[in-house]
Structure 1
Amino acid sequence: MKLGKLFTRVKIAEKFYQYEDMVITENIKMLLCRFLMERKNRIVEIYKKKEGINE
């Protein structure tokens, strides 16, 4: 009985850590996406200045 409880706790802990990893990777994806979008916008602005394009 005690061994069964231990295994149950381990399984719950594993699920919790997997969930935490998913949340962490989602946050990293969002940050990376934001960074890439800002970088792209900056490159576009530099290109427009260089080419003399006005919106």
Structure 2
Amino acid sequence: MQLIHFISRHLIQGRQNRLLRVEVTRYIHHHTAIIKTRSIDDFNLWQLSGIGHID
């Protein structure tokens, strides 16, 4: 019983590490996406304000 518990705990920990890696990657991607969309919004505002208007 103790051995099964030990093995299952290690399997769960291994799975959590993989999940953690996935979560970190997803977090980074999510934030780079926010930064990209934010810069696009800034660019649109810049164009709408007429500063970036090209005749």
Q: TM-score, normalised by structure 2?
A: 0.80
Q: Aligned to 1:52, what secondary structure does the other structure show?
A: coil
Equivalent residues, number: 52
Aligned CA RMSD, in angstroms, stands at 1.3
Task: Please list every run of 5 or more consecutive structure 2 residues that lacks an aligned counterpart in the other structure.
Answer: none
Q: For residue 28 of structure 2, what is the aligned residue in structure 1? A: 30
For residue 46 of structure 2, what is the aligned residue in structure 1?
A: 48
Alpha-carbon distance, 1:52 to partner: 1.9
| Structure 1 residue runs of 4 or more that deviate by more than 4 Å after TM superposition | none
Using the size of structure 1 for normalisation, the TM-score is: 0.80
SS at match of 1:22: helix
Query: Unpaired runs of 5+ in structure 1?
Result: none
Identity of aligned residues (%): 6
Corresponding residue of 1:10: 8
* Counterpart Cα distance in 2 of 1:53 and 1:34: 26
